[in-house]
Amino acid sequence: MLVIGDFDLKKLSLSFPLLIKPNSGDSSFGITQKSIAHSMEELLEILAETRDKIRSDKPFLLEEFLPGKDISVGIIGNPPGCTVLPITEEDYSAVPEELPKICGYEAKWLPDSPYWKIKSIPADLPEKTSKEIVKWCLTLFNRLGCRDYARFDWRLDAEGKPRLLEVNPNPGWCWDGHLAKMAAYADISYSGMLATIIEAAKERYGLEATGKIEIFKKMPENTPRKSPAECAAEFEEEVEANSSLDSENEGKRSVFSNASETINAFESA
């Protein structure tokens, strides 16, 4: 259900618990362990607090909070040559029992949160359920006009039936994102995943293929997860290193320019 503005929710007969999500945004901003309402009073309180926190009065989605497995499916390529990556599920075993099983803002951005310990593991699903989910994802990929890559998020209800949460036509490319994790379970390296996506786009545009690409590489199983701060620090170091290299190269270019005494000396030697 989409909630716009100051619509009077008390007029509706709602079933709880409900998950409250901003209808626009990215990276689960505005979705936390406190985003689940078990009553109308909690719902109104969460809406008010979230609007204040994200400083936005944009619409919110009210979704039935599903208790089953949290499932993700990645697809790379374009019909009819799509590649479906291994289905993954979120492993909440390290999350304290009293906390709701939800992969929100804390799981992605707060290293000190217990949600940071959530892992994406190969999904343990009945064969029939897996086949149905893959079939539906391929159909949605085609009908919704997805291109080159996409991710589909599902959650099982109390009876084990898959319920679609989101079709993401532009999922994150980060090395520890869900798409990269699914690719790793197919023994596809991170660079190989990116190259495959780029090649799919080039083929769609009728551009010449790069040639043979080495995409398969067994990924380390226990690669430590880096916090956003660590990633930012590494990025800054890389930028500084590249800047220093550019400055050094610029210095070399000036030294060996045609007007320099050095090059003139070489020419006269």
What are the pLDDT digits (tens) for 185-239? 999 999 999 999 999 999 999 998 766 666 665 555 556 666 667 766 766 776 6
Query: Is residue 153 located within the same domain as residue 107?
Result: yes
Query: What pLDDT band is residue 266 in, cutting at 50, 70 and 90?
Result: very low
Query: Is residue 129 located within the same domain as residue 34?
Result: no
141 inside domain: yes
Cβ–Cβ under 8 Å, residues 35 and 53: no
Q: How far is CA 184 from CA 31, 191, 215, 218, in A?
A: 27, 11, 10, 7
Q: What is the pLDDT of residue 27?
A: 85
**What are phi and psi for residue 37, nearest 5 degrees?**
-105, 135
Angle in degrees, CA 66, 70, 75, rounded to 5: 130
Spatial distance between the Cα atoms of 47 and 262, rounded to a whole number of angstroms: 70
**Mean pLDDT along residues 157-167:** 96
Q: What percent of the chain has pLDDT over 70?
A: 80
In this structure, what CATH number is given to the domain that contains residue 140?
3.30.470.20
**Mean pLDDT along residues 52-64:** 89
131 inside domain: yes
Query: What pLDDT band is residue 13 in, cutting at 50, 70 and 90?
Result: confident
166 inside domain: yes
268 inside domain: no
135 inside domain: yes
**Mean pLDDT along residues 49-69:** 91
Query: Is residue 52 located within the same domain as residue 22?
Result: yes
Query: Is residue 101 located within the same domain as residue 202?
Result: yes
Query: Is residue 38 located within the same domain as residue 74?
Result: no
What are the pLDDT digits (tens) for 101-120? 999 999 999 999 999 999 99
Query: Is residue 10 located within the same domain as residue 26?
Result: yes
Query: Is residue 118 located within the same domain as residue 209?
Result: yes
Query: Is residue 3 located within the same domain as residue 48?
Result: yes
Query: Is residue 205 located within the same domain as residue 95?
Result: yes
Domain range for residue 157?
68-242
Query: Is residue 237 located within the same domain as residue 165?
Result: yes
What are the pLDDT digits (tens) for 116-143? 999 999 999 999 999 999 999 999 999 9
In this structure, what CATH number is given to the domain that contains residue 21?
3.30.1490.20
Rounded to the nearest integer, the mean pLDDT of the chain is 85
pLDDT: which is higher, 265 or 170: 170
Quote the number of domains for the chain: 2
Query: Is residue 82 located within the same domain as residue 195?
Result: yes
The angle that helices 190-204 and 178-185 make with each other, rounded to 10 degrees, is 100
pLDDT: which is higher, 245 or 182: 182
3-state secondary structure string across the chain? CEECCCCCHHHCCCCCCEEEEECCCCCCCCCCCCCEECCHHHHHHHHHHHHHHHCCCCCEEEEECCCCCEEEEEEECCCCCCEECCCEEEECCCCCCCCCCCCCHHHHHCCCCHHHHCEEEECCCCHHHHHHHHHHHHHHHHHCCCCCEEEEEEEECCCCCEEEEEEECCCCCCCCCHHHHHHHHCCECHHHHHHHHHHHHHHHCCCCCCCCCCCECCCCCCCCCCCHHHHHHHHHHHHHHHHHHHHHHHHHHHHCCCCCHHHHHHHHC
**Mean pLDDT along residues 137-159:** 97
Query: Is residue 113 located within the same domain as residue 220?
Result: yes
Of 65, 84, 114, the domain-final residue: 65
Q: What is the pLDDT of residue 264?
A: 35
Residue 16 tokens read as: 């709880």
